[in-house]
Each structure stands twice: as C-alpha cells, then as structure tokens.
Amino acid sequence: MFTKRLLCILTTLTIGLLLFAFPMVHALTFSSPIRISYNTYWSLDPSVAADGSYVYVAWAEWTPVSGSGGKPEIWLRASSNYGSSFGSPIRLTTNAGESRYPSVAASGSYVYVAWQDDTLVSGSGAAPEIWLRASSNNGVTFGSPIRISTNTYVSVNPSVACNGSYVYIAWEDYTPVSGSGTDAEIWMRVSSNNGAAFGSPIRISTNIYWSAFPSIAAYGSYVYVAWEDYTPVSGSGGYPEIWMRVSSNNGASFGSPIRISTNTYDSLYPSVAASGSYVYVAWEDSTPVSGSGGSFEIWMRVSSNNGASFGSAIRITTNIGYSVDPSVAAYGTYVCVAWADSTPVSGSDGSYEVWLRVSSNNGASFGPAVRITNNVYTSYCPSIAVYGTYVYVAWHDWTPVSGSGGNAEIWLKVGS
C-alpha cells in the first residue's frame, strides 16, 4: 500500500546514460532553489498549487511541536508575489497521530489542503481517515478540519482539486463494499460551496482488485479521476493499468472507466491535469522500450475533447535509469511534466534528480528535459503547478544544509 511513499524516503540507485534528445518548444528560466522548510527533522511529501500571484506549498513535517506526539504534522507556506518570498509556516494539523501526504488546491482566494490522518476519532477503528481544511483568504487563516471519510478501515492517499465554488476530493479506501473483494476502491466527495458542506461519497472504481493512488483534476464542469488498478484485463498480464473516469456535470455522475495504459508491465502512479477541453494523464511505466534498460519511463496521453478519446501514448523520458513519480500541470496551451530520475548525471553521484519537460502546444511536442535539481543527494517527490507564464516545482531533498540535521527539506524553484 505504501510502496510509492517508501520510495519517497528510501530510493534505489541505478547506473545509466542520459539520452534526452527532443526539439525545443519552450525555454524557461528558473530561479535559484528556494528553501521552504527549516528544521532538523524530516520534511517530506510536498504539494504545490498556484492561482494568480499566490503560491502555496504544503508538506508533512516531523519536527516535534506541542501536541504532535513526535509524529508528523501538515504545514503550509504561502507566497503572494509569484514565489519571490513566502510567509511564515502555518500549522494545519494539531494532534498526536500521524498526518501525512497533503494535497493542496487553490481557486481565487480559496485554498484547500487535504491529508490522511491516523488520529483516533469516532468510527475510525484506529485506521487513517481523510481530512480537509479550507481558507477563504489566500491561506491567512483556515477553518476547522473537515472529516471527509468516515469508516473503520484505511482511507489514504487523498487528491484534491477545485474549480470555482466546487471542491473535489478523491482517495483510496479499504472499506469492504460489494464487488471490492476487500481490496481498496477509489472514492470521491464533492462540495459545491467552497468546502462548507460535502455530498455523500461517490464510488469511482468497482472491482475485486486493488484500485489505488488517485489523481483528480477539474476544469469548468468537468472532473477527471485517474488511478492505477490491478484488475486483470486483456493485455495487462496481470499487472496494474491506469484508468480514468470523467464527469461533465461537476461530479454528479461519471462515464464508464477509460483504460489509459495498455501493456503487460507495471503502469503506476498517475497524475492528471486539465485546461480547457484538453486532458493530460502522465504515469510511470516499466514496459521495456528502446533505451530504457528495462527501467521505468514516464509516459503521457492527451485528450483534446474532454476525455472522450485519447491520442497515442507519448514517451516523455528516454534513458536507462529509473524515471518515476510524475507530476503534471497545465495552463492554457502549456503542459508541464516533472519527475524524479536516477539516471546518473554530472553532480548527482547516482542519486535521483528532479527533471521537467514543457510543451507549449497542448502536448503535441515537448522541449528538452530541464534539470531542476543539481546535487549529490536524493531529490524526490516532485509536485508541479502552472499559472500564467509561471511554473512552480516543489520537491523534498536530502542535501544537507544548515539546520537540516542531514534530513530532508522542502525546496521550490520558480520558472517563467
């Protein structure tokens, strides 16, 4: 259940040669890395969102604070000037349980942060639940925590999206339901009033195999939920595939599942983004292809008609190291894909670095890979946001810096 999350802490090494060779589509100039967290304990699992001049970075933090019981809490920092400077860290959780894996979204002055939490509450049976806090003033203050899931089984890996007054939260849930075979299913809840109230849970996946790691995006009245699914289908070889469902009415109903990946190897950890009628789904895939060395590569498919149909799979990475953990974001005709890559390059010492590719024509072509991190320690778990001409990439980094105690910190780079 936590394979991806463990990779975010203890990543593997590999040997290879970087072979990026793609036509230039759009060039970005990136700022120097901006340090978001300052402490001597782990800072992990960043999530970034942007709207207008505001940028928000949330993460899980192990630094002991009053009432944390030594377990991680969720923190957030906000910028009102396109990431030029950030305000003080805001503590979003206050409990003695473990608060992990935040997901942040923003629309106008509203900011939403969802996370999983194993703090004991009525009806949770000691299993983690999904929670949310909302701000109506660009993160200056937040309302009380809202409990999204209510059951005695594990609820994990939330993904939040918003558009206008609508807020959507998807998550992975192990509560047994008809046809689930006790494996996890993907569920979702919708708010039409900026998170003041949420409708009943909506079941997105319906099968007897594991459905995991949802990613959600919204644009206009359309909502897109992608996930990885272990249900055997023709040509999957029993390995997980990426699936997606689409709603055209703000989540009131969803169309049939759409199969995004079609191969006999692992297709994992989808990330979905939407802008206008265009939908982008990226994932990591272990299908052997020329130049991959049998390692994972990042792939993407694009729809120009709100998910009614998708073009052929586009290979984003071409190297023999591991290319994993994609994050995709879109704005206008621009789409950006970030990922972590173990391919050795100068100054990486064989550790993972964060890379990025950009398309300015709705994914028809991509510029060359842009190296975001440059150090000899692991840089991992990228999260990307795009607004206007600005691109924001956050990640956690194990490079020792003053006051880190040798533990990971959260960093951000701003491109324009």
> For residue 13, is pLDDT > 50?
no
Chain segment 385-410, per-residue pLDDT in tens: 999 999 999 999 999 999 888 899 99
In this predicted structure, what is the pLDDT of residue 4? 45
Question: Whose CA is closest to 118, among 143, 101, 135?
Answer: 101
Residue 33 — pLDDT band, cuts 50, 70, 90? very high
Q: Of the ranges 61-70, 236-245, 276-285, 382-391, which one carries the lowest mean pLDDT score? A: 61-70
Question: How far are the Cα atoms of 117, 159, 190 from residue 124, in angstroms, in the given order?
Answer: 10, 20, 21
Q: Distance (Å, rounded) from C-alpha 384 to C-alpha 407?
A: 22
Average pLDDT in the chain: 92
Q: Of the ranges 2-16, 120-134, 287-301, which one carries the lowest mean pLDDT score? A: 2-16
Strand, coil or helix: what is 109?
coil
In this predicted structure, what is the pLDDT of residue 5? 44
Locate 189 and state its tokens.
């809840």
Q: Distance (Å, rounded) from C-alpha 290 to C-alpha 43?
A: 37
At 317, the amino acid letter reads T
Query: What value, to the nearest 5°, has the Cα angle with vertex 272 and ends 269 and 275?
Result: 170
Question: How far are the Cα atoms of 140, 230, 245, 252, 412 from residue 35, in angstroms, in the given order?
Answer: 20, 38, 37, 41, 7
Taking the mean position of all CA atoms in its chain, how far away is CA 366?
A: 21
Tally of domains in the chain: 1
In this predicted structure, what is the pLDDT of residue 26? 52
Residues 6+ apart with CB under 8 A from 382: 325, 327, 338, 339, 340, 354, 372, 393, 394, 395
- Residue 192's CATH number: 2.120.10.10
Q: Distance (Å, rounded) from C-alpha 11 to C-alpha 296?
A: 14
Question: Structure pTM?
Answer: 0.93
Q: Distance (Å, rounded) from C-alpha 332 to C-alpha 362?
A: 8
In this predicted structure, what is the pLDDT of residue 347? 87
In this predicted structure, what is the pLDDT of residue 6? 42
Can you give the residue range of the structural domain that contains 48? 3-415
> For residue 348, is pLDDT > 90?
no
Q: Distance (Å, rounded) from C-alpha 284 to C-alpha 296?
A: 6
Residue 272, φ and ψ in degrees, nearest 5: -120, 145
Residue 226 — pLDDT band, cuts 50, 70, 90? very high
Q: Of the ranges 53-62, 100-109, 232-241, 383-392, which one carries the lowest mean pLDDT score? A: 232-241
Chain segment 95-125, per-residue pLDDT in tens: 989 999 999 999 999 999 999 999 989 888 8
> For residue 22, is pLDDT > 50?
no
Helix (H) or strand (E) holding 5: helix 3-7
> For residue 16, is pLDDT > 60?
no
Chain segment 121-149, per-residue pLDDT in tens: 988 888 999 999 999 999 999 999 999 99
Locate 135 and state its tokens.
């701000």
Interstrand relation of 334-341 and 353-359 (parallel, antiparallel or unpaired): antiparallel
DSSP summary character for residue 197: S
In this predicted structure, what is the pLDDT of residue 59? 98
Question: How far are the Cα atoms of 1, 85, 228, 279, 309 from residue 242, in angstroms, in the given order?
Answer: 16, 38, 5, 14, 15
Strand, coil or helix: what is 207?
coil
User: Strand pairing partners for 332?
Assistant: none
Locate 158 and state its tokens.
């939330």
Chain segment 159-199, per-residue pLDDT in tens: 999 999 999 999 999 999 988 888 999 999 999 999 999 99
Share of the chain above pLDDT 90, in %: 81
In this predicted structure, what is the pLDDT of residue 27? 63
